[in-house]
Chains A and B, each alone.
Chain A
Amino acid sequence: MNKLKKKINLAKKKWEEFVDNREPIIYVGAASCGRAAGALDLLSDINRFIEENRVKAKVVEVGCIGPCYLEPLVDVKMPGEPRVSYNNVTAKTLQNILKAHFQEGIPFAKAAIGHFGTNSYHDIPRFYELPMLKPQVRIVLRNCGLINPEDIDQYLAVDGYQGLMKALQMPPDDVIGVVRQAGLRGRGGAGFPTFKKWTVCRNAPGEQKYLICNADEGDPGAFMNRSLIESDPHAVLEGMLIAAYAIGASKGIIYIRAEYPLAIERLKTAIAQMREYGLLGTKILGSNFNFDIKIKEGAGAFVCGEETALIGSIEGKRGMPKSRPPFPAISGLHGCPTIINNVETMGTLPNILRNGAEWYTKYGKEGNRGTKTFSLVGKIRRPGLIEVQLGTPLREIIFDIGGGVQKTFKAIQTGGPSGGCLSEEFLDLPVDYESLASVGSIMGSGGLIVMDEDTCIVDVAKYFLDFTQKESCGKCVPCRVGTRHMVELLDKITHGEGTADDLLSLRNLGDTIKKGALCGLGQTAPNPVLTTLRYFRNEYLEHIKDQRCRAAVCKDLIEYRVIKEKCTGCQSCVRVCPTGAITGPRSEPHNLDVTKCIKCRSCYEICRFDAIAGDAIVIRTAEKRS
């Protein structure tokens, strides 16, 4: 342990020199989302600027700080000045930013979104005072976007691995005690108390025990785990060490989606660094604790997020769930006691051990302690990765942090495809495990999808069910046959061919699947349909009785029209129409032949963005069929 303490002191010194910065530092947010927004191009532009102008500066790739709508983000920290953050940086603004800092010696305040200093600075607001950040409590995400995820020294310098050192000084039972006192519940979705699972595993007989970190984040619309691993991999790995020590495991596995190549890369780098620092292997930090970690890439099956299916997949089998008991904590991987914890649970552990259980219970509320990360997406003004205390009302998340919706708010789906769709009347519902369950939804792993009036509720319910149906492993009948039948009924309704009886069948099927399915996938699959039937019944009825889709989404119930008064006859739409449905000479309003139209959206898009008139093509609900 003394060796690590020395390394920590060195790392702190290195960090102080780094932050003290006699040299300017340029930070680029280069997690997957930043890269998709063009961060890597900016990175090479920055390096070119440094070379051409012969300036001295360090360039650091950091992870994701959360507000995805601001990507790509570039921060500049000049010696003695606070770090200034610039949002939605283009190649052109980048030049202005760099010129301002390096040639004029002032920030390019016009394009800055916030600074990280303590005092006021050039009329730029403080970053953490921004409306999106202010209501958040960042415990799991505390380092994201601030440190270099590929440098263990930076993690050590911000008190990394202190939690592990504290844990190793206690007997394992006391570590479990701290987690119990902190009231931590599993962040993978079900919210089962972490200490209970651990206690069972610790007391289970067996020489070999396994610890698995579940990073198979399969929920479409959720990216919390990806961001955390890409931005702060050591936090997750430290959590794994603490958990393994507590339950007495000597082998650890990270089961991660193959679709996350950057996250896998960063984990590999981090694990190599841990080996070098004596944080993996035998007699870790001079204690009697031995542990090693292997990475297993998932192969694309949503059901493998379920514990027993995940174990099957690691064993090289089809990822099909088994009936429980026995629970994996007693008989899991290769029949040995196994604990599976989610990435976020792991990421929380170092903080609890470092700061103590009492500190953690200050956040959240009775029975729902601490914070939860969410990916807030859909029709929201400020989408991104957020972290709030459990018990925060939905309204605060959607409107204060997310900035509300552009059009009219319609619904929010919590818990991903197996969650429920909640209407406006639930906006004041506190987000905790029990409150969400009481209205037919779930916490899930933390996907929040916001929908506005342009989203068709029936279409969304069909989408979710279609997803779970395709991912059903086929082992038990209720899930295999039942979800299929439900999708067919929903399909009928979206085509305008549904009947009132179909709604009754949907409810009966949903209730049966919930009761009869073998695993969590089946038991939660009907949730989107059951909740929308409850809270948005009118929209179903409109599809059935009036063949009307008020959001103008269901293809069979809508048509495209040219508004003659608006159309200038610029011919943009004529050029992109793949079926020749739009005709008309230049400068005269065009004609749209609805019998030829395949509703591909090309004309609508081009009219909105590139045409002279703009918005002359509309999508609207078709007349009622006779």
Chain B
Amino acid sequence: MPEPIRTILAKHSREPDELIPVLQDVQKEYGYISAESVRGISKYLRISENTIYGVSSFYAQFRFTEPGRHSVKVCLGTACHVRGGATLLEMLERGLGIHCGETTEDKRFGLDRVACLGCCALSPVVQIDKEIYSRVTVNKLTEQLKEYE
């Protein structure tokens, strides 16, 4: 087992309640849940690998492939939808040549949709890494992406 996983697991008790917090910590460290991590978690929490996949695939937060260097999240909450969020997602899918939930081949961008970032009054919003961009337009977003390498 790689050292970081060991350290993460050591911070949690071996109760089944800890499964989701453990998965969250693993994803924070690696950006995704690898098959190897699942094996480690399974041994530690004494939960079968199948159950772990069952639980983790239920929640939108967890991903099972390596993420890109920058994560682009398009908000598709109601307010953003009414103000054109879906068009932004389409434009990104076309521009980056990937579908929502995928990563570009050069690993530069990963593209996702989120249900709501809670900045509805500034809609439509797009989150790139930790930065939230408000009142985004198709053209503004194209310019913005160039700043991320």
Are A609 and B78 in contact, with the CB atoms below 8 A? no
Residue of A nearest to B122 (CB): A36
Given A258-B61, A300-B60, A315-B16: A217 and B118 interface contact (C-beta under 8 Å): yes
A-B contact pairs, 18 of them (CB 8 A): A36-B122, A69-B121, A221-B120, A222-B120, A223-B116, A258-B24, A258-B61, A297-B24, A299-B61, A316-B17, A316-B19, A316-B47, A316-B55, A377-B79, A377-B123, A383-B120, A413-B78, A471-B115
Choose from B16, B20, B122 the contact partner of A71 (Cβ within 8 Å). B122
Are B138 and A602 in contact, with the CB atoms below 8 A? yes
Are A220 and B116 in contact, with the CB atoms below 8 A? yes
Are B18 and A316 in contact, with the CB atoms below 8 A? yes
A409 nearest CB across to chain B (Å): 14
Are B120 and A317 in contact, with the CB atoms below 8 A? no
CA distance A384 to B79 in the complex (A): 12
CA distance A485 to B119 in the complex (A): 31
**Which residues of B (38-86) have their CB < 8 Å from a CB of A?**
47, 54-55, 58-62, 76-84
Listed in ascending order, the chain B residues whose CB lies under 8 Å from chain A are: 15-21, 23-24, 47, 54-55, 58-62, 76-84, 87, 90-91, 94-95, 114-123, 125, 132-134, 137-139
**Does A467 lie at the interface of the complex (its beta carbon under 8 Å from any beta carbon of B)?**
yes
**Does A451 lie at the interface of the complex (its beta carbon under 8 Å from any beta carbon of B)?**
yes
Are B118 and A223 in contact, with the CB atoms below 8 A? yes
Are A297 and B21 in contact, with the CB atoms below 8 A? yes
Are A377 and B132 in contact, with the CB atoms below 8 A? no
Residue of B nearest to A224 (CB): B118
Interface residues on A, range: 35 or more
CA distance A301 to B139 in the complex (A): 32
Are B116 and A378 in contact, with the CB atoms below 8 A? no
Are A259 and B114 in contact, with the CB atoms below 8 A? yes
Q: B115 contacts which chain A residues (CB < 8 A)? A: 218, 220, 300, 302, 467, 471
Which of A315, A316, A600 has the most chain B CB within a 10 Å cutoff?
A316
B130 nearest CB across to chain A (Å): 8
**Which residues of A (371-387) have their CB < 8 Å from a CB of B?**
375, 377-379, 383-384
CA distance A315 to B81 in the complex (A): 34
Q: B61 contacts which chain A residues (CB < 8 A)? A: 258, 299-300
CA distance A417 to B19 in the complex (A): 30
Q: Please give 17 more A-B residue pairs, beta carbons under 8 A apart, in addition to A259-B114, A578-B94, A610-B139.
A: A71-B121, A218-B116, A221-B79, A259-B116, A300-B60, A300-B61, A316-B16, A316-B17, A316-B55, A319-B58, A319-B59, A378-B82, A383-B120, A384-B121, A576-B138, A601-B87, A602-B91
Q: Quick one: CB contact mask for A205-229 with B, threshold 8 Å, 1 for yes?
A: 0000000000001111111001000
Q: Quick one: CB contact mask for A294-317 with B, threshold 8 Å, 1 for yes?
A: 001101111000000000011111
B85 nearest CB across to chain A (Å): 10
Given A33-B122, A35-B132, A600-B138: A318 and B79 interface contact (C-beta under 8 Å): no
Q: A467 contacts which chain B residues (CB < 8 A)? A: 115
Are B119 and A36 in contact, with the CB atoms below 8 A? yes
Q: A35 contacts which chain B residues (CB < 8 A)? A: 132
Given A301-B58, A600-B91: A68 and B78 interface contact (C-beta under 8 Å): no
**Does A363 lie at the interface of the complex (its beta carbon under 8 Å from any beta carbon of B)?**
no
Q: A71 contacts which chain B residues (CB < 8 A)? A: 121-122
Given A36-B132, A463-B81, A600-B90: A259 and B118 interface contact (C-beta under 8 Å): yes
A338 nearest CB across to chain B (Å): 14
Which of B16, B54, B81 has the most chain A CB within a 10 Å cutoff?
B81
Choose from A377, A383, A606 the contact partner of B78 (Cβ within 8 Å). A377
CA distance A455 to B86 in the complex (A): 14
Are A316 and B20 in contact, with the CB atoms below 8 A? yes
**Does A518 lie at the interface of the complex (its beta carbon under 8 Å from any beta carbon of B)?**
no
**Does A460 lie at the interface of the complex (its beta carbon under 8 Å from any beta carbon of B)?**
yes
Q: B87 contacts which chain A residues (CB < 8 A)? A: 600-601
CA distance A404 to B76 in the complex (A): 24
Q: A300 contacts which chain B residues (CB < 8 A)? A: 59-61, 115
Residue of A nearest to B116 (CB): A220
Are B120 and A375 in contact, with the CB atoms below 8 A? yes
CA distance A383 to B78 in the complex (A): 13
Q: A447 contacts which chain B residues (CB < 8 A)? A: 78
Listed in ascending order, the chain A residues whose CB lies under 8 Å from chain B are: 32-33, 35-37, 68-69, 71, 217-223, 226, 258-260, 296-297, 299-302, 313-319, 375, 377-379, 383-384, 413, 416-417, 447, 449, 451, 455, 460, 463-464, 467, 471, 473, 576, 578, 598, 600-602, 605-606, 609-610
Given A600-B87, A601-B87: A460 and B82 interface contact (C-beta under 8 Å): yes
Q: A33 contacts which chain B residues (CB < 8 A)? A: 118-119, 121-122
Residue of B nearest to A579 (CB): B94
Q: A417 contacts which chain B residues (CB < 8 A)? A: 78
Are B59 and A602 in contact, with the CB atoms below 8 A? no
CA distance A297 to B133 in the complex (A): 24
B143 nearest CB across to chain A (Å): 11
CA distance A302 to B79 in the complex (A): 17
Are B118 and A260 in contact, with the CB atoms below 8 A? yes
Which of A221, A222, A600 has the most chain B CB within a 10 Å cutoff?
A221
Are B116 and A299 in contact, with the CB atoms below 8 A? no
Are B123 and A36 in contact, with the CB atoms below 8 A? no
Residue of A nearest to B18 (CB): A316
Given A68-B121, A223-B120, A375-B120: A600 and B94 interface contact (C-beta under 8 Å): yes
B65 nearest CB across to chain A (Å): 17
CA distance A447 to B77 in the complex (A): 11
Are A221 and B122 in contact, with the CB atoms below 8 A? no
CA distance A473 to B60 in the complex (A): 12
Are B59 and A449 in contact, with the CB atoms below 8 A? no
CA distance A221 to B82 in the complex (A): 10
Residue of A nearest to B120 (CB): A377
Residue of A nearest to B15 (CB): A316
Residue of B nearest to A572 (CB): B139
B7 nearest CB across to chain A (Å): 19
CA distance A223 to B59 in the complex (A): 21
CA distance A15 to B115 in the complex (A): 40
CA distance A36 to B132 in the complex (A): 5
Q: A221 contacts which chain B residues (CB < 8 A)? A: 77-79, 116, 120
Are A609 and B55 in contact, with the CB atoms below 8 A? no
CA distance A343 to B87 in the complex (A): 33
